[in-house]
Amino acid sequence: ILDSADKIVTLNKPLERIIVGSGNQAEGVMVLKAVDTVVGVGSWITTQGTVYPELSELPPVGGFGAGHNEPDIEAIFELDPDLYLIYATHAPELDEQLGAVGIPILCLDFYRPTGLREDTAKLGYVLNRRDEAGAYTDFCDECMNQILEKTESLSEEDKPRVYLEYTDYLTSSDDETIALAGGRNIAADLTGGSSEWSGIVTVDAEWVIEQDPEIFLKWAPYGAGYGTDDPADMKAARDAVLSRTELAHVSAIEDESVYMNTFSLFGTYYYVSVAYMAKWFHPELFYDLDPQAMHQEYLTEFLGIDYDLSEHGVFVYPPVED
Q: What is the pLDDT of residue 56?
A: 96
Q: Which neighbouring-strand residues pair with 71?
A: 62
What pTM, to 2 d.p., does this model score?
Answer: 0.93
Provide the residue ranges of all domains of the chain, joining segments of one domain with +: 18-128, 143-303
Would you tell me which CATH number, out of the four given (3.30.110.60, 2.30.110.10, 3.30.390.10, 3.40.50.1980), belongs to the domain 143-303? 3.40.50.1980
Q: What is the pLDDT of residue 294?
A: 97
H/E stretch holding 260 reads strand 258-261
Q: What is the pLDDT of residue 283?
A: 96
Strands (E), 73-199: 83-86, 105-107, 161-165, 170-172, 184-185
Would you tell me which CATH number, out of the four given (3.40.50.1980, 1.20.58.1610, 3.40.228.10, 3.30.1360.200), belongs to the domain 18-128? 3.40.50.1980
SS3 164: strand
From CA 313, how far away is CA 322, in angstroms rounded?
17
Q: What is the pLDDT of residue 173?
A: 85
Q: What is the pLDDT of residue 198?
A: 58
SS3 315: coil
From CA 266, how far away is CA 177, in angstroms rounded?
10
SS3 276: helix
Q: What is the pLDDT of residue 194?
A: 43
Q: What is the DSSP annotation of 18-30? A: EEE-SHHHHHHHH
From CA 234, how far away is CA 243, in angstroms rounded?
14
Q: What is the pLDDT along the chain (322 residues), one digit of tens a residue?
A: 999 888 999 999 999 999 999 999 999 999 999 999 999 999 999 999 999 999 999 999 988 654 456 888 999 999 999 999 998 877 788 888 998 999 999 999 898 888 899 999 999 999 999 999 999 999 999 999 999 999 999 999 999 999 999 999 999 887 689 999 999 999 998 875 444 445 789 999 999 999 999 999 998 867 789 989 999 999 999 999 999 999 999 999 999 999 999 978 888 999 999 999 999 999 999 999 999 999 999 999 999 999 999 999 999 999 987 5
Q: What is the pLDDT of residue 53?
A: 96
What are the C-alpha distances in Å from 100 to residues 61, 71, 96, 97? 18, 16, 6, 5
Q: What is the pLDDT of residue 104?
A: 94
Q: What is the pLDDT of residue 153?
A: 93
Q: What is the pLDDT of residue 68?
A: 53
